[in-house]
Amino acid sequence: MKLHIQFNVLFLCKLALFLSNFLILYILSNFYAANVAGEFYYQISILSIIAMFSNIGIDNSIFYFLKKGVFTTSNILAISFKIVFFFVLLATAAWVSFYLFSDNRYPIIFSLLFICSLLLQYIFNAHFLAIKKGWIPQIGLTVINIIFITWLLLNQLPLKNKYGELLNIYYSLFFLTSFVVLLYIFFTTPKYRIEQPSKDKLRLLLKFGLFPYITNSLFFLGANIDLIVVKKYCEGDLSAYVQATKIFQIFCSVFYLLYYPFMGQIIEANHKEGVKILMRSSRIISFILVLIIIPFLLICSLFLDKIFPSSYDQVMMLLKYLGISFFSTSLAYFYTSYFVANKMHKQNIISASVFLITIVFLSFLLIPALGIKGGAIAYSISILCSLIFDIILFKIKNNVKFSDTLLIKKEDMLFIKNYFN
């Protein structure tokens, strides 16, 4: 399946996921207690950080070696079932321990199952994107959201102030759906085979995944540190900050859809073709972002007062300060993908370190002084610094001009025209 067709199918499935995510945010923000949305997404962010640190970069490795034909679906099944077994065992041990010593045993059990589900999702995304069926995990996540939305609407009053119970329900749905997807992979694999990868393959998997793992961990930590600092210094404004950052994440995730398909193109191309593909993609995406960011913010200004009436002013203020981040984050995905495909891991680690160091410094400097506005400014400056580093590095390595990576050309317009035709 060609890149643009993959994007079209993924986009439609992702659109359904966007709408369901946004509806959850809307319901929590308007029909539940003021702090519920903030605490709900804060707890999910913390567990997502733990999952990111636990995945040892296997998602990038699985995608890369599936594309190269080194790994098979049977190998992926063996790894996935081991992850499920380990975390179910861990959750059972936690339940037994807390049953004996504490009455508050459920949160840690559901949290462990959620972390397990996130690790499985990393594997599923890499697997299905490698076989050009990346829409399947998106449908699974949308189903989770639809069931959860139904539950939220039916149980609004009993759980109006209890975000902990909501989290346990959401974690359970996430785990069950992830297990169903795992069974789907199993039953669609020829002869239902589960084949343990050899030790050499596992070493290869871990070796290749180590550097992307370090990069992703640094970047993911940096992308959430502002939320942690906001909770510390501006807890009363946490929900408004979460609302703005979720809108920002939804926007950028449209372009993240191309991360793995784009990496696949770079892997299959020679070096010269890969450079041309990145430059063309960078120019076109830059052009598209410049065209749509301001209209997107205008649309938000027209409708968000009806969706988040109590926090509209704060959310719009944050989105304006995050404006440059819409551009920087979306474009940075392509450079990160290019560096991974070419095994330029050191460059990605340095770029992620630039982002992390800058955002930690600026978050602790600006958020106590400026409140949640300081968090948006800190993120925008940090991700822009990281992107500038990526472009400069690419320019030096390949002896190209800045204009070759950012300014649209006539040939690009022809490419866009052919795409829509």
pLDDT confidence of 247, banded at 50, 70, 90? confident
Of 68, 59, 65, 71, give the one whose Cα is nearest residue 215.
Answer: 59
The residue type at 74: S
* pLDDT the model gives residue 3: 52
At a CB cut-off of 8 Å and minimum separation 6, what does 145 contact?
Answer: 17, 20, 21, 23, 24
Contact 152, 24 (CB under 8 A): yes
Average the pLDDT over 375-389 and give the result.
92
Are 141 and 15 in contact, with CB atoms under 8 Å apart?
no
Is the model more confident about 293 or about 418? Answer: 293
**Mean pLDDT estimate for the chain:** 79
* Contacts with 233 (C-beta within 8 Å, 6 or more apart), sequence order: 367, 368, 371
The 8-class DSSP code of residue 308 comes to: S
Q: Above 80 in pLDDT, residue 159?
A: no
pLDDT at 419 over 70: no
- 319 pLDDT above the threshold of 60: yes
Confidence band for 360, pLDDT divided at 50, 70 and 90: very high
Q: What is the DSSP letter of 198?
A: P
The pLDDT of 136-163, averaged and rounded, is: 75
More confident residue, 184 or 225: 225
pLDDT over 80 (residue 192): no
pLDDT band at 365 (very low <50, low <70, confident <90, very high): very high
Higher-scoring residue by pLDDT: 135, 191:
135
Residue 359 — pLDDT band, cuts 50, 70, 90?
very high
The structure's pTM equals 0.74
| pLDDT higher than 60, residue 109 | yes
Cβ atoms of residues 173 and 142 within 8 Å: no
pLDDT at 421: 60
CA 92 – CA 32 distance, rounded (Å):
32
Q: What are phi and psi of 343, to 5 degrees?
A: 55, 35
pLDDT reading at 298 higher than 80: yes
pLDDT, tens only, 389-416: 999 988 888 888 878 888 888 887 877 7
pLDDT for the residue numbered 377: 93
Q: Is the pLDDT of residue 204 over 80?
A: no
Which of the residue ranges 24-33, 207-216, 352-361 would you say has the lowest mean pLDDT? 207-216
Residue among 135, 145, 134, 137 at smallest CA distance from 120: 137
pLDDT at 366: 93
Q: Does the pLDDT at position 382 exceed 90?
A: yes
Tokens linked to 157: 């009053």
C-alpha 164/C-alpha 155 separation (Å) is 14
Q: Residue 338, Cβ neighbours under 10 Å: how many?
A: 25
CA atoms within 13 A on the CB side of 41: 26
The first and second tokens of residue 77, run together, are: 């099944």
Q: In the chain, how many H helices and how many E strands?
A: 17, 0
Which pLDDT band holds residue 6 (cuts at 50, 70, 90)? low
CA distances from 113 to 106, 122, 306, 363 (A): 11, 14, 36, 31
- For tokens 């958020």, the residue is 367
pLDDT interval class at 362 (50, 70, 90): very high
- Mean pLDDT computed over 251-274: 80
User: What value, to the nearest 5°, has the Cα angle with vertex 308 and ends 307 and 310?
Assistant: 145
Contacts of 198 by beta carbon, 8 Å cutoff, 6+ apart: none
Q: Please compute the mean of the pLDDT values over residues 224-250 and round it to a whole number.
A: 84
Q: How far apart are CA 252 and CA 323, in angstroms?
A: 11
Radius of gyration, alpha carbons of the chain: 22
Closest alpha carbon to 51 in 98, 154, 121: 121
Fill in the DSSP letter of residue 160: T
